[in-house]
Amino acid sequence: MKRFVCHLLIGVAAITALSARAEEPSWRQPQKPFQVYGNTYYVGTQGLSAILITSPRGNILIDGTLQGNAPLIEANIRALGFRVEDVRVILNSHAHSDHAGAIAELAGASGAQVQASAAGARALMAGGNDPEDPQFGEALRYPPVAHVGVVPDGGTVRVGNIELTAHYTPGHTPGSTSWTWRSCEHGRCLRMVYADSLSSISADGFRFSDDAAHTHRVEDFRHSLAMVAALPCDILMVPHPDAIGFMDKVAARDRGQQPNPLIDSHACRAYAAAAGLKLEARLAREQQDHTAH
């Protein structure tokens, strides 16, 4: 567990080191799609997740990655033997360009309904122009989504025999949402978690600790960390797969490593713990800066 948290700290630190304006080459690098477990598939790029959950009556897609990546995601869906037109709902983790930039195009191609948290829906319809976002002023814009339905905290989204539950986890953005569901394979059902980013990244000059307009921001962030840590969790996925070494685990699984390295009931706790250490370090720096001035 301690070793896993150490590896996660390295991954989270790498993500945190990126500025709001940075774009990693891996974010547009094609990735061969693959089955995660049961009816859950990875259809994103090498560095940005997009998750497809399938049923005989239609499919759900979580996240769209960058604007311009829609053809890659569509090709990945088809490569797995599914139809883009069978995507009935598109969900979002948070409304930054690297996870929502292609959603408008994907919705147009599939005819899917787009759904998100209340704050996430507002940001998606504004094309990422969200004054409440800690990265406001630096976060890149993208094509707005014309219509976005709101899923309440604890609410469910159903397509066929798929049922996903929304867990509001504000912090990285006000609309950040983590999603949970069950996938089954050979009679064994596992608890799947797509936990949103928990990194405390912001635009220059923003301070989490004394945001006068949102006095509960730090409290909400800590609550989100506790919520993710407490989620029933067998397989963890996140918007930036390198934050948890996800592709390395997939490669190890595909080499036949046993037990399956993707299955880890401690993964959500470790992910939240690593992010919590980064948040507390950030808050300590803010306090030092405040004292110095």
Report how far residue 8's alpha carbon sits from residue 116's, in angstroms, rounded to the nearest whole number. Answer: 27
Q: What amino acid is encoded at 206 in this protein?
A: F
CB-CB contact of 36 with 153 (8 Å): no
- Over residues 176-228, the pLDDT tens digits come to 999 999 999 999 999 999 999 999 999 998 989 877 777 899 999 999 999 99
- Higher pLDDT: 204 or 1? It is 204
Arithmetic mean of pLDDT, 150-157? 99
The model's pLDDT over 83-102, given as tens digits with 9 standing for 90+, comes to 999 999 999 999 999 999 99
Residue 1 burial (10 A CB sphere; 0-12, 13-18, 19+): exposed
**SS3 state at 106:** helix
Say which residues have a Cβ less than 8 Å from residue 158's Cβ, sequence separation at least 6: 164
What is the rounded average pLDDT of the residues 20-26? 77
The dihedrals phi and psi of 26, each to the nearest 5 degrees, come to: -65, -20
Q: Are 153 and 104 in contact (CB under 8 A)?
A: no
Domains of the chain are: 2-292 (3.60.15.10)
Of residues 247, 236, 235, 92, the one with CA closest to residue 172: 92
Can you tell me the mean pLDDT for 170-176? 97
The pTM score is 0.92
Cα-flanking dihedrals φ and ψ of residue 124, to 5°? -65, -40
